[in-house]
Amino acid sequence: MKFIKHIAAATAALTFAAPVFAEYPEKPINFIVGFRAGGGSDAAARILAAELEAQLGQKVIVENKGGAGGAVAAQYIMGQKPDGYTIGFAVNTTFSYTPTTGSVPYGIDDLDYIATTHGYRVVYTAPKDAPFDDWAGMIATAKERGWINYASIIPLDRAVIQYVGKKEDIAVNIVPTRGGSAARQAVLGGHVDLGFSGSNALPMYEDGAMKIIASMNPGGISEHPEIPTLETLGYDVIMNDAAVFFGPKDMDADARAKLEAALAEAVKSEAFLDFVNNKFRGVERYLTGAETKAALQADAAVYIEMNKVIAE
């Protein structure tokens, strides 16, 4: 009888001592930023990392793995466990454009998407003393001279200007640069006729230090309606440049849902909104993971057609 009582007691003890699986996250999250430290994308990522810590109650450890416009980080994330403890930060063109070139071993479907957190401004700049003041003038100068020098930052901006060159029958001499700052310096110094830039060019334009002759953003630059878009200039290309949080394919559903919800709150924070609107001069743009993937697929279709024109 005593033996039976001991068995029952032991069984009860084991029942009450059974482990309860902790809810995600139960340990620090590794956050891989696909760009070098110190740039605008890195600054945004670190603000959002701090906001995620506050939302999730766990440390978010930031590590920079820059290279190939975010592709280095994307390939690294592909090899990680899909448990939500290693996530990445890149831009939408990392997934919508780069795979269309055949230069990377992944496509849109090879990763999972958590959210789009904000958008970038992307513009064409020219020296303040350039012999043209607008896009038509730039094209006329290129046709008269026979060529134009262009400061490039990423593969996509290089492809877009090559597309323009094909459409307009002008030669474009590509001058590769290391980041937006280097491209802007090339323009400010008059070393090139045209350059690609993010929103950091806007204050320089407003101060009269350089010209902006077009925007690649659909819808243009809200505070500068005088700047035309490539669409209004008659080209069937755009650059929906935006920041994307992503993870390995087949991410744990609970982890992905909690990260998505946390980011939806993080983008509303005062610190982040101040950065996007005032310091970074970007665009407020939040998309869920599903919406992000749909947007990437739509953009990829445009870039595939653009690549066909370039290859002709």
DSSP 141-163: HHHHHSEEEEEE-SHHHHHHHHH
Cα separation, 81 vs 203, in Å, equals: 42
Model confidence pLDDT, tens digit, residues 54-90:
999 999 999 999 988 899 999 999 999 999 999 999 9
User: What is the pTM for the complete model shown?
Assistant: 0.88
Give mean pLDDT, residues 228-235.
96
Alpha helices in 18-154 (DSSP H): 40-56, 71-78, 93-96, 135-145
Q: Where in the chain is the domain with CATH 3.40.190.10?
A: 123-215
Instruction: Give me 50's structure tokens.
Output: 């701090």
Model confidence pLDDT, tens digit, residues 252-273:
999 999 999 999 999 999 999 9
Asked if residue 220 lies in contact with residue 231, where contact means CB atoms within 8 angstroms, the answer is no
- Given a cut of 50, whether residue 49 has pLDDT beyond it is yes
Give mean pLDDT, residues 240-247.
95
CATH topology of domain 123-215: D-Maltodextrin-Binding Protein; domain 2 (3.40.190)
Instruction: Give me 262's structure tokens.
Output: 């946390």
CATH topology of domain 29-120+241-311: D-Maltodextrin-Binding Protein; domain 2 (3.40.190)
Q: Where in the chain is the domain with CATH 3.40.190.150?
A: 29-120+241-311
Residues 6+ apart with CB under 8 A from 199: 40, 120, 121, 123, 280, 281, 282
Model confidence pLDDT, tens digit, residues 205-224:
999 999 999 999 988 999 99
